[in-house]
Every structure is written in C-alpha cells, then in structure tokens.
C-alpha cells in the first residue's frame, strides 16, 4: 500500500507541482487509510474495494471526526483511487462512489476592530523580537495572509512604496495583496531596528522577511505561538493566525469593500469560499440594529 501512496505523492509533487503543505496533508490522510486497511487485514492496494472505502468513511465518523476531516480524508482517498485506476492498479476506481459528507456553514471567529487594535497595542515592544512580532501581526491582519504565506515572504516580495506584497498561496499560486499603512510602518521599523539583530547569516535565510533568533526563516509553529501569545496579552484566548485573516476580510466587507476584491486579496479560487463573510456581515448588521434601533427589542 505504501509504495502506491509514495508514487501518488511523487506524481503530485512532480507533475502537479503541489506544495509541501499539500503533500503533507495528503500523506497524513492516506496514512490513516493505510493503517485502517491494515487493521482490516488489507495490506495491498489490489485488495482494496468499495466496501473497504465505505467502511473507512463510517469508521472516521464513529471515531468522532468532524465532517470537514472526513471529507478531506475521503477526498484524498478518491484522488489516490483515481490515480491508481489511470495507472492500471487494483480493482478500478473503488472510491468514486463513496459519498462525501455535506458541510454546514461554520462561521469563523472574528474579532471587533477594537479588539484587533488592542492586540496591536499590547504587542508593541521595542526589542528585536517585539518589532518582528508587531510587523508579523500587522502583516497577517493588514494583508489577510495565511501563516504559511507570511513565513514564505521574501524581501523581494515586498513593494513597500507601492503598498503591496507578492504572496505565494495554495498550489504555489501568486497574488499581490495590499499592505495597510500600519503594516508598512511596522515592517519599516522592523527592518531598521529589529531584523538586523536576527540576520547573522548562520540560518542561511537572508531572503526571508521574518527571521528567528538563529537567522533562519520563521516557522509556522512559531507564527502560531506569537499570535496566541499576542492574544493572551490582550485578554483573548486561543487566538490563531487565521482569525486575523478572517478579521481582515470581515472588516473590509463591513467597510464597504466589494466581495470580488476580497476574493482577490485572500486568494480564494472560488467566490463561494469568500461568500461566508457575507453571513458574518449580516450578523454584524443585525447586532448593530438590535443595539441601536429604539424598537428593535420590542415584542408584539
């Protein structure tokens, strides 16, 4: 089983140009299937059939996994099955008819503008790490970046005078995202007073915008830690980088930005992904209405 998974991952990497993060995700999901199959006494792909694929789906639900995780893992299995069918391995496309679970709309957590401002204020420090962290937070929120996108920023991706940064998103797709004035100022100060302390050459990452103490590129795990600690300093528990990305989109929409513009900034390939923020905006409008209208709470 593992040899077919490795071959499929090589195909994704070489032929499809999939990113490291995508390959890691496929690898984890397909490893879960291989372990499930082995527990059922199936070690070879040629012995995988539709019944086993459907049993995997039901086992995931039985183990308490959410619909989004089940959908992702079954989608990975479908992709592997499709590849093996094209290559002439096994019993045909055994996973093609396995139904994907329907996902309910889950509204992302969004902070108020005041809460975001408080996060920025509380993270305002003058040491090198503090200047880096403030620049990182402002960039995540100001440009709506994913954690991995912020980690991947290089110095030649920034066009500060023009107010843009070049972003490599999912599938290595490039886009240009605008930088807020606050992000611009925070980055300039970090470059002048903070980054030189990290840029010692030992990490071999002179090109990276955000550096760690050893001079290497900041990792996604470090970004998550920095953001969570910034939230704690502002009294906000379990703050994630993606929350700042959601805040960027929602606050843009509340400020009157066009949905297509937000789609372009966030790098969504499908407008339906961006439309989730219209649900958030309707909630905001309703809350503002209930708070402001003199007869909003009146019962008839």
Give catalytic residues, as residue numbers.
146, 170, 242, 245, 268, 277
| Three-state secondary structure string covering the chain | CHHHHHHHHHHHHHCCCCCHHHHHHHHHHHHHHHHHHHHCCCCCHHHCCHHHHHHHHHHHHHCCCCHHHHHHHHHHHHHHHHHHHHHCCCCCCCCCCCCCCCCCCCCCCCCCHHHHHHHHHHCCCCCHHHHHHHHHHHHHHHHCCCHHHHHCCEHHHEECCCCEEEEECHHHCEEEEECCHHHHHHHHHHHHHHHHHHCCCCCCCCCECCECCCCCECCHHHHHHHHHHHHHHCCCCCCCHHHHHHHHHHHHHHCCCCHHHHHHHHCCCCHHHHCHHHHHHHHHHHHHHHHHCCCCCCCC
Cβ neighbours for 131, distance < 8 A, ≥ 6 positions apart: 125, 186, 189, 190, 193, 194, 195
Distance CA 28, CA 123 (A): 35
Alpha carbon distances (Å) from 12 to 49, 171, 262: 23, 11, 29
Distance CA 105, CA 208 (A): 36
């Amino acid at each position: 089983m593992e040899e077919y998974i490795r071959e499929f991952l090589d195909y994704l990497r070489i032929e499809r140009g999939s990113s490291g993060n995508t390959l890691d995700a496929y690898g984890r999901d397909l490893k879960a299937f291989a372990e499930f199959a082995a527990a059922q006494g199936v070690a070879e792909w040629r012995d995988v059939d539709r019944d086993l694929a459907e049993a995997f789906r039901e086992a995931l639900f039985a183990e308490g996994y959410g619909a989004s995780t089940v959908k992702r893992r079954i989608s990975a299995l479908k992709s592997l099955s499709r590849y093996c069918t094209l290559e002439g391995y096994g019993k045909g496309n055994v996973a093609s008819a396995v139904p994907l679970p329907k996902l309910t709309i889950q509204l992302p957590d969004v902070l108020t503008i005041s809460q975001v401002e408080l996060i920025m204020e509380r993270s305002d420090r003058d040491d090198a790490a503090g200047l880096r962290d403030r620049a990182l937070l402002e960039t995540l929120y100001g440009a709506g970046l994913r954690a991995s996108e912020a980690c991947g920023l290089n110095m030649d991706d920034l066009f500060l005078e023009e107010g843009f940064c070049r972003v490599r998103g999912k599938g290595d797709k490039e886009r240009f995202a605008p930088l807020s004035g606050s992000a611009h100022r925070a980055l300039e100060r970090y470059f002048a007073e903070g980054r030189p302390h990290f840029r010692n050459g030992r990490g071999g990452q002179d090109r990276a915008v955000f550096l760690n103490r050893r001079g290497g590129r900041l990792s996604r795990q470090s970004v998550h830690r920095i953001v969570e600690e910034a939230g704690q300093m502002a009294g906000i528990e379990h703050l994630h980088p993606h929350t700042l990305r959601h805040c960027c989109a929602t606050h843009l929409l509340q400020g009157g930005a066009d949905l297509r513009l937000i789609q372009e900034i966030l790098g969504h390939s499908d407008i339906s992904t961006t439309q989730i923020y219209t649900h958030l905006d309707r909630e905001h409008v309703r809350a503002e209405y209930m708070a402001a209208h003199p007869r909003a709470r009146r019962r008839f």
